């Protein structure tokens, strides 16, 4: 099997982005989801998604275009752009993803708000990586997680993202394992994604569905 | 907690789908429909926590949908979705019962906060309802037992006064549970971590009372071989319960008044003042107002003690509590004596209900204890009870007229010959009572 045919997560830059972003994302995604990554630019730009009324880019339209271009080996795609994204009902979004689907998207546009004066670039890169891991998580059918340290926790303010860890909580790890099993990729779980014995014990004893009871 | 169930009503496909998708990522159960008519069908069929309702809909307007939904399910929180041009309608909708409105497009943070707030309010409302129900169903409050309206009022009162520091004067006949009420107040007070110290003022001779309450220094008097801390000191940080406070001597009344006024006291023979750091609860079975009138109780002390007063009802005024209390005591004594008695026969319960219980709950407790001890069957029978109810008081050969005469005489006597009150108790009018008094030749001095 050639590398292109091997199941992988595709990182697709959409326009100009910081050169450090892709290497950081590749490493973090492999660590958390245990799958290899590849880089390819799937779209020639995102102008088609521009809304003159909103002066923003409609993220759902971009997602659809990304999803439409995927090959079977590209099991998930994470698009990375630097424009201001929106969905019609909300003023803006940092990213969007198809829940239990294949396409996800993040924008770096608003991730530079409230950056600290020192080490701002490190913090900025960290936010991009965490947002990428978060949106990709939705494609593995992960919903928002109540654990504030989990990468799937929904942060009301961008600065709160800095307090999250670059990892999944033990419940979300199990849900990712389930999703990979459904894809026939269970054996590919990376160390960070692999549920440990304790996780499974909890699962056997009926841990409630992670989606239940949580707030946004 | 189950995830919130949400219904979105918007005729613009792209808006309702984008909101649906966004909310689903939060784990909510979301449905979306395009018209008011469909929304009403959904609300009739299922329960929703939150409904996002666009004001401008084709067909039925958002306002009409709102008003019908309020009829079908007033608990659903309706959030109106509006554009800039129709804010006034949204405000009107809030007057009509909508929970809030959101201006399109909304801030993601605002949406999240609003849903969280609604769900928290709903959880709070459910908890309040549960507590209210629990309150309604309660038959116990600490060690006090009762489901009667009178006791429910007592429980409410205790809950209200417990957190204050005020002196409480509990009145009630002997055996009504004054000390239990005082303990319940203490348990629910800020001083519950401190001790509950009780003194029966009626049981101590006057010459011991002072030392008992205030303590004494070594050598203060002949027998004071060691320094002793009094009850006021022992109750530091907690509650001092002065039972039968109407029984204390005139001298002690003065001492007690001074402590309450100055909030400090001295050990007998001591020169160092000690700060009073305890809540005072006093109790009496005497009529203190009457005692004040008779000058046997100091008026100034009475008012100092009677800041908050709690009157415990006699058992005969809350007879609906008798089965509950009797069963409680039965279970307790059966366990203590290891006897297989687990119920009270219908006839025995009738006897308990007919008896007037002058000794109140304590007498009932003693009666059940005796019945359990002497009982030979699985149930308590009338012959096990050491009481004689009014119905069995008269010998079998007594005529009806004799029974009536005796009963009227007793009611009159118990009510100090107050004709109006006695007639009311007997269930006859005053003129009938007068004629019966005359016919039976009843006199006040009998």
Gap between the Cα atoms of B176 and B285, Å rounded: 9
Cα dihedral sign, B436-B441-B442-B443 = positive
Q: Do B2 and A213 touch (CB under 8 A)?
A: yes
> Between A93, A97, A214, which is nearest B27 by CB?
A214
Write down the pLDDT at residue A194.
56
A165 in catalytic set: no
For A107-153, the pLDDT digits (tens) are: 999 998 888 888 899 999 999 999 999 999 999 999 998 888 999 99
Write down the pLDDT at residue A208.
33
Q: Name every residue in A having a CB less than 8 A away from some CB of B.
A: 54, 60, 86-93, 96-97, 99, 138, 143-144, 154, 156-157, 210-216
Closest CA to A179 of A208, A205, A150, A143: A143
Q: Check pLDDT > 70 for residue A163.
A: yes
Q: Do B22 and A87 touch (CB under 8 A)?
A: yes
Chain A / chain B CB contacts < 8 angstroms: 76
pLDDT along chain B (446 residues), means of 10: 86 90 90 94 92 91 92 91 78 88 88 90 79 64 86 91 93 92 92 90 80 86 81 92 90 89 89 90 93 90 92 92 92 90 89 88 92 90 78 58 83 83 79 78 73
Write down the pLDDT at residue A209.
34
* Per-residue confidence band for A189, with pLDDT thresholds at 50, 70 and 90: low
Question: Which chain A residues contact residue B108 at CB under 8 A?
Answer: 90-93
Instruction: For residue A98, give the chain B residue with the closest CA.
Output: B21
Residue carrying the six token digits 């119920």: B343
Write down the pLDDT at residue B446.
54
For A61-76, the pLDDT digits (tens) are: 999 999 999 999 999 9
Sequence-ordered list of residues with C-beta below 8 angstroms from that of A116, at least 6 positions apart, any chain: A123
Gap between the Cα atoms of A75 and A39, Å rounded: 13
Going along chain B from its start, the domains and CATH numbers come out as 5-128 (3.40.50.2300), 146-311 (3.40.50.300), 315-439 (1.10.8.60)
- Rounded to a whole number of angstroms, the distance from the CA of A91 to the nearest CA of chain B is 5
Write down the pLDDT at residue A140.
94
Highest mean pLDDT among A173-182, A187-196, B324-333: B324-333
Higher pLDDT, B400 or A58: A58
Q: Check pLDDT > 50 for residue A202.
A: no
Q: Do B25 and A97 touch (CB under 8 A)?
A: yes
Instruction: Point out the catalytic residue in the list A96, A98, A131, A135.
Output: A135
How wide is the angle at C-alpha A129 spanned by C-alphas A123 and A135, nearest 5°?
Answer: 135
Please give the backbone phi and psi of residue B223, each rounded to the nearest 5 degrees, phi first.
Answer: -85, 0
Question: Which chain B residues contact residue A97 at CB under 8 A?
Answer: 25
Instruction: For residue B81, give the chain A residue with the closest CA.
Output: A89
Question: Which chain A residues contact residue B12 at CB under 8 A?
Answer: 88
Instruction: For residue A96, give the chain B residue with the closest CA.
Output: B22
Instruction: For residue B123, give the chain A residue with the closest CA.
Output: A213
């Amino acid at each position: 099997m050639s590398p292109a045919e091997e199941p992988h997560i595709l990182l697709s830059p959409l326009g100009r982005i910081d050169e450090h972003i892709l290497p950081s994302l590749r490493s973090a995604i492999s660590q958390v989801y245990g799958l290899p990554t590849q880089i390819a630019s799937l779209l020639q730009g995102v102008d088609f998604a521009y809304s003159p009324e909103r002066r923003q880019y409609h993220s759902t339209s971009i997602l659809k275009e990304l999803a439409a271009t995927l090959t079977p080996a590209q099991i998930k795609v994470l698009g990375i752009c630097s424009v201001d994204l929106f969905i019609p009902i909300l003023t803006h979004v940092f990213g969007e993803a198809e829940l239990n689907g294949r396409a996800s998207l993040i924008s770096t546009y608003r991730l530079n708000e409230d950056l600290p004066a020192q080490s701002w670039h490190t913090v900025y890169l960290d936010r991009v990586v965490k947002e990428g891991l978060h949106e990709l998580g939705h494609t593995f059918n992960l919903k928002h997680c109540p654990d504030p340290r989990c990468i799937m926790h929904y942060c009301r303010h961008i600065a709160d993202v800095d307090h999250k860890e670059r990892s999944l909580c033990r419940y979300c790890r199990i849900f990712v394992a389930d999703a990979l099993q459904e894809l026939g990729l269970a054996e590919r779980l990376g160390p960070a994604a692999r549920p440990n014995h304790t996780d499974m014990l909890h699962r056997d004893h009926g841990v409630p569905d992670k989606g239940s009871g949580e707030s946004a | 907690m189950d995830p919130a169930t949400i219904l979105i009503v918007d005729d613009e496909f792209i808006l309702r789908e984008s909101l649906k998708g966004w909310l689903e990522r939060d784990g909510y159960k979301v449905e979306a429909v395009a018209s008011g008519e469909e929304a009403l069908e959904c609300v009739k069929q299922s329960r929703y926590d939150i409904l996002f309702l666009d004001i401008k809909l084709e067909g039925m307007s958002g306002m009409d949908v709102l008003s019908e939904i309020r009829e079908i399910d007033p608990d659903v929180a309706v959030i109106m979705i509006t554009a800039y041009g129709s804010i006034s309608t949204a405000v009107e909708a809030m007057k009509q019962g909508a929970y809030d409105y959101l201006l399109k497009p909304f801030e993601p943070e605002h949406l999240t906060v609003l849903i969280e707030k609604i769900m928290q309010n709903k959880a709070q409302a459910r908890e309040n309802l549960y507590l209210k129900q629990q309150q309604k169903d309660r038959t116990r409050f600490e060690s006090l037992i009762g489901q009667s309206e009178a006791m429910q009022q007592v429980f409410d009162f205790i809950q209200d006064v417990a957190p204050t520091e005020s002196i409480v004067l509990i009145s009630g006949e002997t055996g009504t549970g004054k000390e239990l009420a005082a303990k319940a107040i203490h348990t629910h007070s800020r001083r519950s971590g401190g001790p509950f110290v009780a003194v029966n003022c009626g049981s101590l001779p006057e010459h011991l009372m002072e030392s008992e309450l205030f303590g004494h220094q070594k050598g203060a008097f002949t027998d004071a071989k060691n320094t002793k801390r009094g009850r006021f000191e022992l109750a530091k940080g907690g509650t001092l319960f002065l039972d039968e406070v109407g029984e204390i001597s005139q001298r002690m009344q003065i001492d007690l008044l001074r402590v309450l006024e100055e909030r400090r006291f001295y050990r007998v023979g001591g020169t160092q003042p000690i700060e009073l750091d305890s809540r005072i609860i006093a109790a009496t079975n005497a009529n203190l107002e009457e005692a004040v009138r008779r000058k046997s109780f100091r008026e100034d002390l009475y008012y100092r003690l009677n800041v908050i007063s709690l009157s415990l009802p006699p058992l005969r005024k809350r007879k609906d509590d008798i089965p509950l209390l009797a069963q409680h005591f039965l279970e307790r004594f059966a366990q203590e004596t290891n006897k297989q008695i687990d119920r009270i026969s219908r006839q025995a319960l009738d006897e308990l209900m007919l008896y007037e219980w002058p000794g109140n709950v304590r007498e009932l407790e003693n009666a059940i204890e005796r019945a359990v001890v002497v009982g030979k069957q699985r149930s308590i029978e009338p012959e096990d009870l050491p009481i004689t109810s009014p119905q069995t008081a008269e010998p079998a050969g007594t005529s009806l007229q004799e029974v009536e005469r005796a009963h009227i005489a007793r009611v009159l006597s118990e009510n100090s010959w107050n004709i109006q009150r006695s007639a009311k108790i007997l269930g006859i009018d005053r003129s009938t009572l007068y004629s019966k008094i005359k016919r039976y030749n009843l006199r006040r001095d009998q």
